[in-house]
Amino acid sequence: MPESAATQQGQQPVRESFGSRLAAAMATRGPLCVGIDPHPQLLAQWGLNDDAAGLERFSLTVVEAVASLAAAVKPQVALYERHGSAGMAVLERTLAASTDAGVLSIADAKRGDIGSTMAAYADAWMRDGSSLAADSVTLSPYLGFESLRPALDLAAQYGRGVFVLALTSNPEGKSVQHVGGSDSVARRIVAAAAAENQRYDGVLGSVGLVVGATIGSALEELAIDLGPVRGAILAPGLGAQGATPADLRATFGDAYSSVLATSSRGILVAGPDVSALRAATEETLDGLRGE
Protein backbone atom coordinates (compact mmCIF):
# COMPACT_ATOMS: atom_id res chain seq x y z
CA MET A 1 0.00 0.00 0.00
CA PRO A 2 1.58 3.32 -1.04
CA GLU A 3 2.09 5.85 1.69
CA SER A 4 -0.26 8.80 1.78
CA ALA A 5 0.65 12.33 2.84
CA ALA A 6 -0.91 11.54 6.21
CA THR A 7 1.42 8.57 6.63
CA GLN A 8 4.46 10.68 5.79
CA GLN A 9 3.41 13.13 8.50
CA GLY A 10 3.34 10.34 11.09
CA GLN A 11 -0.35 9.49 10.98
CA GLN A 12 -1.63 6.00 10.25
CA PRO A 13 -2.25 5.02 6.61
CA VAL A 14 -5.82 4.86 5.34
CA ARG A 15 -6.81 1.27 4.48
CA GLU A 16 -9.87 0.40 2.44
CA SER A 17 -12.59 -0.90 4.73
CA PHE A 18 -12.75 -4.61 5.42
CA GLY A 19 -16.32 -4.77 4.12
CA SER A 20 -15.28 -3.32 0.78
CA ARG A 21 -12.31 -5.67 0.50
CA LEU A 22 -14.44 -8.68 1.38
CA ALA A 23 -17.17 -7.70 -1.09
CA ALA A 24 -14.55 -7.51 -3.84
CA ALA A 25 -13.08 -10.88 -2.89
CA MET A 26 -16.51 -12.54 -2.84
CA ALA A 27 -17.38 -11.03 -6.22
CA THR A 28 -14.19 -12.18 -7.94
CA ARG A 29 -13.56 -15.53 -6.20
CA GLY A 30 -16.89 -16.63 -4.83
CA PRO A 31 -18.61 -16.70 -1.42
CA LEU A 32 -16.36 -19.26 0.28
CA CYS A 33 -14.31 -19.12 3.47
CA VAL A 34 -12.06 -22.11 4.15
CA GLY A 35 -11.66 -22.91 7.83
CA ILE A 36 -8.17 -23.83 8.97
CA ASP A 37 -9.03 -26.29 11.74
CA PRO A 38 -6.01 -28.38 12.76
CA HIS A 39 -7.86 -30.95 14.83
CA PRO A 40 -5.67 -33.77 16.17
CA GLN A 41 -7.59 -36.26 14.04
CA LEU A 42 -6.94 -34.28 10.87
CA LEU A 43 -3.27 -33.88 11.70
CA ALA A 44 -3.03 -37.66 12.09
CA GLN A 45 -4.92 -38.22 8.85
CA TRP A 46 -2.39 -36.00 7.10
CA GLY A 47 0.46 -38.01 8.61
CA LEU A 48 1.50 -35.13 10.86
CA ASN A 49 2.37 -35.07 14.54
CA ASP A 50 0.07 -33.29 16.98
CA ASP A 51 2.67 -30.65 17.79
CA ALA A 52 3.71 -27.18 16.66
CA ALA A 53 5.65 -28.52 13.67
CA GLY A 54 2.65 -30.52 12.46
CA LEU A 55 0.40 -27.55 13.10
CA GLU A 56 2.57 -25.29 10.95
CA ARG A 57 2.87 -27.76 8.09
CA PHE A 58 -0.91 -28.20 8.10
CA SER A 59 -1.72 -24.50 8.26
CA LEU A 60 0.71 -23.29 5.62
CA THR A 61 -0.31 -26.10 3.27
CA VAL A 62 -3.95 -24.99 3.50
CA VAL A 63 -3.00 -21.38 2.81
CA GLU A 64 -0.88 -22.43 -0.17
CA ALA A 65 -3.72 -24.53 -1.58
CA VAL A 66 -6.69 -22.18 -1.20
CA ALA A 67 -5.32 -18.62 -1.09
CA SER A 68 -5.99 -17.94 -4.77
CA LEU A 69 -9.47 -19.52 -4.68
CA ALA A 70 -11.25 -18.61 -1.46
CA ALA A 71 -12.46 -15.17 -0.42
CA ALA A 72 -11.10 -15.77 3.09
CA VAL A 73 -9.47 -18.28 5.40
CA LYS A 74 -10.50 -18.75 9.02
CA PRO A 75 -7.98 -20.20 11.48
CA GLN A 76 -9.67 -21.65 14.56
CA VAL A 77 -7.70 -19.95 17.33
CA ALA A 78 -8.45 -22.54 20.03
CA LEU A 79 -6.67 -25.24 18.04
CA TYR A 80 -3.52 -23.13 18.11
CA GLU A 81 -3.89 -22.13 21.76
CA ARG A 82 -3.87 -25.78 22.81
CA HIS A 83 -0.20 -25.90 21.75
CA GLY A 84 0.72 -22.98 24.01
CA SER A 85 3.12 -20.25 22.95
CA ALA A 86 4.53 -22.42 20.13
CA GLY A 87 1.05 -22.81 18.73
CA MET A 88 0.32 -19.10 18.91
CA ALA A 89 3.58 -18.44 17.09
CA VAL A 90 2.35 -20.75 14.33
CA LEU A 91 -0.90 -18.78 14.21
CA GLU A 92 1.07 -15.57 13.79
CA ARG A 93 2.97 -17.09 10.87
CA THR A 94 -0.27 -18.41 9.37
CA LEU A 95 -1.86 -14.97 9.46
CA ALA A 96 1.26 -13.43 7.92
CA ALA A 97 1.31 -16.10 5.21
CA SER A 98 -2.34 -15.36 4.41
CA THR A 99 -1.57 -11.67 3.99
CA ASP A 100 1.43 -12.46 1.79
CA ALA A 101 -0.71 -14.79 -0.34
CA GLY A 102 -3.41 -12.15 -0.82
CA VAL A 103 -6.29 -13.88 0.97
CA LEU A 104 -8.33 -12.25 3.74
CA SER A 105 -8.06 -13.75 7.22
CA ILE A 106 -10.74 -14.21 9.87
CA ALA A 107 -9.33 -15.08 13.28
CA ASP A 108 -11.99 -17.30 14.84
CA ALA A 109 -11.28 -16.25 18.42
CA LYS A 110 -14.83 -15.45 19.64
CA ARG A 111 -13.52 -12.81 22.02
CA GLY A 112 -15.85 -10.87 24.29
CA ASP A 113 -15.33 -8.98 27.54
CA ILE A 114 -15.73 -5.52 29.06
CA GLY A 115 -13.77 -2.34 29.43
CA SER A 116 -9.99 -2.45 29.36
CA THR A 117 -10.00 -6.22 28.82
CA MET A 118 -12.03 -5.88 25.63
CA ALA A 119 -9.75 -3.05 24.57
CA ALA A 120 -6.77 -5.35 25.06
CA TYR A 121 -8.37 -8.06 22.93
CA ALA A 122 -9.09 -5.50 20.22
CA ASP A 123 -5.50 -4.26 20.37
CA ALA A 124 -4.18 -7.81 19.97
CA TRP A 125 -6.31 -8.76 16.96
CA MET A 126 -6.71 -5.45 15.12
CA ARG A 127 -3.93 -2.98 15.77
CA ASP A 128 -1.44 -2.47 12.97
CA GLY A 129 1.89 -3.84 14.15
CA SER A 130 0.37 -6.54 16.36
CA SER A 131 1.73 -9.97 15.46
CA LEU A 132 -1.81 -11.37 15.80
CA ALA A 133 -3.50 -8.73 13.65
CA ALA A 134 -5.98 -10.37 11.26
CA ASP A 135 -8.23 -8.81 8.66
CA SER A 136 -11.16 -9.62 10.93
CA VAL A 137 -12.02 -11.46 14.13
CA THR A 138 -15.09 -13.21 15.54
CA LEU A 139 -16.64 -11.68 18.67
CA SER A 140 -19.14 -12.81 21.30
CA PRO A 141 -21.69 -10.11 22.28
CA TYR A 142 -23.21 -11.85 25.28
CA LEU A 143 -21.95 -9.30 27.77
CA GLY A 144 -23.99 -6.81 25.76
CA PHE A 145 -23.35 -5.67 22.19
CA GLU A 146 -22.00 -2.33 23.37
CA SER A 147 -19.31 -4.12 25.40
CA LEU A 148 -17.68 -4.75 22.01
CA ARG A 149 -17.21 -1.02 21.44
CA PRO A 150 -13.39 -1.04 21.69
CA ALA A 151 -13.21 -3.66 18.94
CA LEU A 152 -15.86 -1.99 16.78
CA ASP A 153 -14.04 1.33 16.90
CA LEU A 154 -10.57 -0.11 16.40
CA ALA A 155 -11.83 -2.11 13.42
CA ALA A 156 -13.10 1.09 11.82
CA GLN A 157 -9.86 2.90 12.65
CA TYR A 158 -7.59 0.26 11.09
CA GLY A 159 -9.77 -0.89 8.19
CA ARG A 160 -10.45 -4.29 9.75
CA GLY A 161 -13.67 -6.16 10.39
CA VAL A 162 -15.59 -8.16 12.99
CA PHE A 163 -18.09 -11.01 12.85
CA VAL A 164 -20.46 -10.97 15.81
CA LEU A 165 -22.13 -14.19 16.96
CA ALA A 166 -25.86 -13.88 16.32
CA LEU A 167 -27.53 -17.23 15.65
CA THR A 168 -25.38 -20.29 16.13
CA SER A 169 -26.42 -23.80 15.22
CA ASN A 170 -25.45 -25.53 18.47
CA PRO A 171 -28.57 -26.61 20.42
CA GLU A 172 -27.42 -24.79 23.57
CA GLY A 173 -27.42 -21.46 21.73
CA LYS A 174 -31.21 -21.33 21.73
CA SER A 175 -31.28 -20.92 25.52
CA VAL A 176 -29.79 -17.44 25.07
CA GLN A 177 -30.17 -16.36 21.46
CA HIS A 178 -33.86 -17.26 21.02
CA VAL A 179 -35.04 -15.72 24.28
CA GLY A 180 -37.68 -13.07 23.67
CA GLY A 181 -39.34 -14.58 20.61
CA SER A 182 -40.08 -11.82 18.11
CA ASP A 183 -37.92 -9.50 20.24
CA SER A 184 -35.20 -12.08 20.73
CA VAL A 185 -31.63 -11.54 21.86
CA ALA A 186 -30.50 -12.58 18.38
CA ARG A 187 -32.77 -10.03 16.72
CA ARG A 188 -31.36 -7.27 18.91
CA ILE A 189 -27.81 -8.26 17.96
CA VAL A 190 -28.77 -8.16 14.29
CA ALA A 191 -30.31 -4.71 14.72
CA ALA A 192 -27.23 -3.43 16.56
CA ALA A 193 -24.96 -4.66 13.75
CA ALA A 194 -27.16 -2.94 11.18
CA ALA A 195 -26.92 0.33 13.10
CA GLU A 196 -23.15 -0.02 13.40
CA ASN A 197 -22.75 -0.52 9.64
CA GLN A 198 -24.27 2.89 8.96
CA ARG A 199 -20.77 4.31 9.50
CA TYR A 200 -19.52 2.49 6.39
CA ASP A 201 -19.95 3.23 2.70
CA GLY A 202 -19.97 0.61 -0.03
CA VAL A 203 -21.81 -2.65 -0.62
CA LEU A 204 -20.88 -4.23 2.71
CA GLY A 205 -20.14 -2.71 6.07
CA SER A 206 -17.34 -4.14 8.18
CA VAL A 207 -19.57 -5.53 10.94
CA GLY A 208 -20.65 -9.01 9.90
CA LEU A 209 -22.65 -11.63 11.73
CA VAL A 210 -22.11 -15.32 12.43
CA VAL A 211 -25.26 -17.24 11.56
CA GLY A 212 -25.01 -21.02 11.36
CA ALA A 213 -25.70 -22.68 8.04
CA THR A 214 -27.73 -25.36 9.82
CA ILE A 215 -30.15 -23.15 11.80
CA GLY A 216 -33.07 -24.22 9.63
CA SER A 217 -36.14 -22.00 10.01
CA ALA A 218 -34.86 -19.98 13.00
CA LEU A 219 -34.68 -16.69 11.07
CA GLU A 220 -38.32 -17.01 10.08
CA GLU A 221 -39.44 -18.17 13.52
CA LEU A 222 -37.74 -15.20 15.19
CA ALA A 223 -38.86 -12.72 12.51
CA ILE A 224 -35.26 -11.73 11.76
CA ASP A 225 -34.53 -9.88 8.50
CA LEU A 226 -30.82 -9.93 7.65
CA GLY A 227 -31.19 -7.59 4.67
CA PRO A 228 -30.82 -4.30 6.58
CA VAL A 229 -27.57 -5.46 8.22
CA ARG A 230 -25.55 -4.71 5.07
CA GLY A 231 -22.73 -6.82 6.44
CA ALA A 232 -21.41 -10.23 5.48
CA ILE A 233 -23.05 -13.28 7.02
CA LEU A 234 -20.41 -15.82 8.02
CA ALA A 235 -22.21 -19.16 7.81
CA PRO A 236 -20.26 -22.11 9.24
CA GLY A 237 -21.59 -25.60 8.64
CA LEU A 238 -21.23 -26.17 4.89
CA GLY A 239 -20.06 -29.67 4.03
CA ALA A 240 -19.09 -31.97 6.89
CA GLN A 241 -21.61 -30.43 9.29
CA GLY A 242 -24.41 -31.22 6.87
CA ALA A 243 -25.43 -28.00 5.11
CA THR A 244 -25.57 -27.91 1.31
CA PRO A 245 -25.62 -24.90 -1.03
CA ALA A 246 -29.35 -25.52 -1.49
CA ASP A 247 -29.81 -25.37 2.28
CA LEU A 248 -27.98 -22.04 2.38
CA ARG A 249 -30.26 -20.54 -0.25
CA ALA A 250 -33.36 -21.81 1.54
CA THR A 251 -32.16 -20.61 4.95
CA PHE A 252 -30.97 -17.15 3.96
CA GLY A 253 -33.33 -16.31 1.11
CA ASP A 254 -32.86 -12.75 -0.14
CA ALA A 255 -29.78 -12.33 2.09
CA TYR A 256 -27.92 -15.16 0.29
CA SER A 257 -25.84 -12.70 -1.72
CA SER A 258 -24.23 -11.55 1.56
CA VAL A 259 -23.47 -15.06 2.81
CA LEU A 260 -19.85 -16.14 3.18
CA ALA A 261 -20.18 -19.90 3.51
CA THR A 262 -17.56 -21.68 5.60
CA SER A 263 -16.31 -25.18 4.96
CA SER A 264 -13.56 -26.73 7.05
CA ARG A 265 -13.42 -30.52 7.32
CA GLY A 266 -15.33 -30.95 4.06
CA ILE A 267 -12.30 -29.52 2.27
CA LEU A 268 -9.48 -30.35 4.69
CA VAL A 269 -10.05 -34.11 4.49
CA ALA A 270 -8.71 -33.92 0.93
CA GLY A 271 -5.21 -33.05 2.24
CA PRO A 272 -2.33 -33.12 2.53
CA ASP A 273 -1.97 -33.03 -1.26
CA VAL A 274 -2.20 -29.41 -2.43
CA SER A 275 -3.80 -30.28 -5.74
CA ALA A 276 -6.46 -32.36 -3.97
CA LEU A 277 -7.21 -29.50 -1.57
CA ARG A 278 -7.54 -27.13 -4.51
CA ALA A 279 -9.87 -29.55 -6.28
CA ALA A 280 -12.06 -29.86 -3.17
CA THR A 281 -12.17 -26.07 -2.85
CA GLU A 282 -13.11 -25.64 -6.51
CA GLU A 283 -15.83 -28.28 -6.20
CA THR A 284 -17.28 -26.47 -3.18
CA LEU A 285 -17.21 -23.17 -5.03
CA ASP A 286 -18.95 -24.75 -8.03
CA GLY A 287 -21.73 -25.88 -5.71
CA LEU A 288 -22.14 -22.43 -4.22
CA ARG A 289 -22.24 -20.81 -7.64
CA GLY A 290 -24.34 -23.42 -9.39
CA GLU A 291 -27.21 -24.16 -7.03
Q: Which helix (H) or strand (E) holds 97?
A: helix 84-101
Q: Is residue 136 part of a domain?
A: yes
The answer to whether position 2 is within a domain reads no
Contact 148, 112 (CB under 8 A): yes
| Residue 36, domain extent | 15-290
Q: How confident is the model at residue 13 (pLDDT cuts 50, 70, 90)?
A: low
Q: Is 1 inside a domain boundary?
A: no
CB contact at 8 A, 22 and 72 = yes
pLDDT tens for each residue of 76-105 = 999 999 999 999 999 999 999 999 999 999
Structural domain contains residue 6: no
Is residue 9, in this structure, part of any structural domain at all?
A: no
Task: Give the residue numbers annotated as catalytic, written as ranges.
Answer: 110
pLDDT digits (tens, 9 = 90+) for 61-78: 999 999 999 999 999 999
72 residue type, one letter: A
Q: Are 36 and 76 in contact (CB under 8 A)?
A: yes
CATH of the domain at 100: 3.20.20.70
User: Does the residue 83 lie in any domain?
Assistant: yes
pTM as predicted = 0.94
Residue 154 lies inside a defined structural domain of this protein: yes
Count the domains in the chain.
1
Examine residue 126 and state whether it is found in any structural domain, yes or no.
Answer: yes
Residue 156, CB half-sphere, CA atoms under 13 Å: how many? 13
